[in-house]
Amino acid sequence: AQSVTQPDIHITVSEGASLELRCNYSYGATPYLFWYVQSPGQGLQLLLKYFSGDTLVQGIKGFEAEFKRSQSSFNLRKPSVHWSDAAEYFCAVGYGGATNKLIFGTGTLLAVQP
Amino acid sequence: DAGVIQSPRHEVTEMGQEVTLRCKPISGHNSLFWYRQTMMRGLELLIYFNNNVPIDDSGMPEDRFSAKMPNASFSTLKIQPSEPRDSAVYFCASSFDRYSNQPQHFGDGTRLSIL
């Protein structure tokens, strides 16, 4: 069965430090992979997506993610975190063909220290 | 362009009452999804529609929940009768699925509290 694991429930980083959020997936075929961000009281905003091709994908707000098939991972990175990046981050895998059904991870809550 | 619009943003009601949540997808999108988010279970897909037709409702928790999409620009999620355990944030999302790799765009959600 398809699944997504985000092993870190909560992460705290200092402003200006680098960030890596982990995501592992279980899926039999080549997955569609997504990272979403949710600010308090808001819906989920798409940061970036991977469907095929270059395994390093660039997203909005300076984020990037790398697809590693051998590790079944799709980790999210940012070289320098800003206080406004504090939010909850969700990794998701899409399957089901044209309907793009998503399974979400449990999320990682990011806190940014001044 | 307007995003996915959900109403109401907040709903507080007593158990036993009927609750109706509304969603207007992004114009041109032909897939619509209803999710529920709770601390305990995270984000769960309840039901999704493609071209106004329900495709998979296996995530609907029980018969008290029903969803409709009478046209391409409107969907409702109804709970009748409501119970305290239905308290959650309900999200609607839409996507353009012609090429099967389009991301879902989420509304801001409806925060539902059943007393």
Using one digit for the tens of pLDDT, what is the confidence trace for B55-87? 889 999 889 999 999 999 999 999 999 999 999
Backbone phi and psi for residue A71, each to the nearest 5 degrees, phi listed first? -105, 0
Decide if pLDDT at A98 tops 70.
no
- Chain A 52-91, residues with CB within 8 Å of chain B CB atoms: 90
Q: What is the pLDDT of residues A45-93, one digit of tens each?
A: 999 999 888 899 999 999 999 999 999 999 999 999 999 999 999 999 8
Decide if pLDDT at B26 tops 60.
yes
Chain A residues touching residue B55 (CB < 8 angstroms): 99
Q: Which of A33, A45, A49, A100 to mutate to test the interface with B (most CBs of B within 10 A)?
A: A100
Q: Is B55 on the interface with A (CB under 8 A)?
A: yes
pLDDT of residue B101: 66
Nearest CA in chain A to B33: A101
